[in-house]
Structure 1
């Protein structure tokens, strides 16, 4: 089976790629919002935070790829945002009373920027 690289998908169908990125953010944000609204602790909160960590792991890897066609300064800014997300995710996992609001706000802004 042939698997297209992310760069190939973006080159051939950038609108489709952006739509997939938005969908991934929407899914992760939905989990975060649900966990925050329920005041959820334990597995629901861990799964919600894990979803944003997984998303940023993929995005950071792509942003660091030499084949990524985004301007270098934009890639660096997005990697910095991704690293902040990873630190914040670790903090909310280690501090159950910490709100998910910052993760929700930042990632909503990033998702909205994909429009």
Structure 2
């Protein structure tokens, strides 16, 4: 009944974390797609960029934490991606770029890797 090992429990919690992160990215991607359809100066764009920045700030904080179990190289690569996402979100907000395609693509790639859709 309670014979689940610590390793199985830890793996299950890790899978739940990945699933929650993938779902959060789904929400952000959906908002970014609405922003793309509505235009860079729309209320939808402001909402999408706010949530994108918030989620990636959380990811960056988690990746920088000592308790993060990912390999250091993977963490560094994800931090670089996160910094790019934040900069691109700011460029969109400032009107320096108008296309949401790149930021949507990156979020989809990360989401798919969390969901196991990318090997």
- TM-score after normalising by structure 1: 0.85
Tell me how far 1:98 sits from its aligned partner.
1.0
Q: Name the counterpart of 2:106.
A: 106
Q: Name the counterpart of 1:41.
A: 41
Judge conservation of contact 1:88–1:103 (CA < 8 Å) in 2: yes
**Displacement over 6 Å in runs of 4+:** none
How many angstroms apart in 2 are the aligned matches of 1:103 and 1:110? 11
Q: Name the counterpart of 2:78.
A: 78
How many angstroms apart in 2 are the aligned matches of 1:48 and 1:70? 28
1:13 alignment partner, SS class: helix
Tell me how far 1:50 sits from its aligned partner.
1.1
How many angstroms apart in 2 are the aligned matches of 1:13 and 1:92? 35
- TM-score after normalising by structure 2: 0.83
2:98 alignment partner, SS class: coil
For the pair shown, which has the larger CA radius of gyration, 1 or 2? Answer: 2
How many angstroms apart in 2 are the aligned matches of 1:19 and 1:110? 12
Tell me how far 1:10 sits from its aligned partner.
6.5
- In structure 2, the CA distance between the partners of 1:10 and 1:21, relative to structure 1 (3 Å rule), is farther
Where in structure 1 are there 5+ consecutive unaligned residues?
A: 1-8
How many angstroms apart in 1 are the aligned matches of 2:84 and 2:29? 16
Where in structure 2 are there 5+ consecutive unaligned residues?
A: 1-8
Which runs of structure 2 are paired with 1:6-85 in the superposition (5 Å)?
A: 13-39=13-39, 41-85=41-85
CA RMSD of aligned residues (A): 1.8
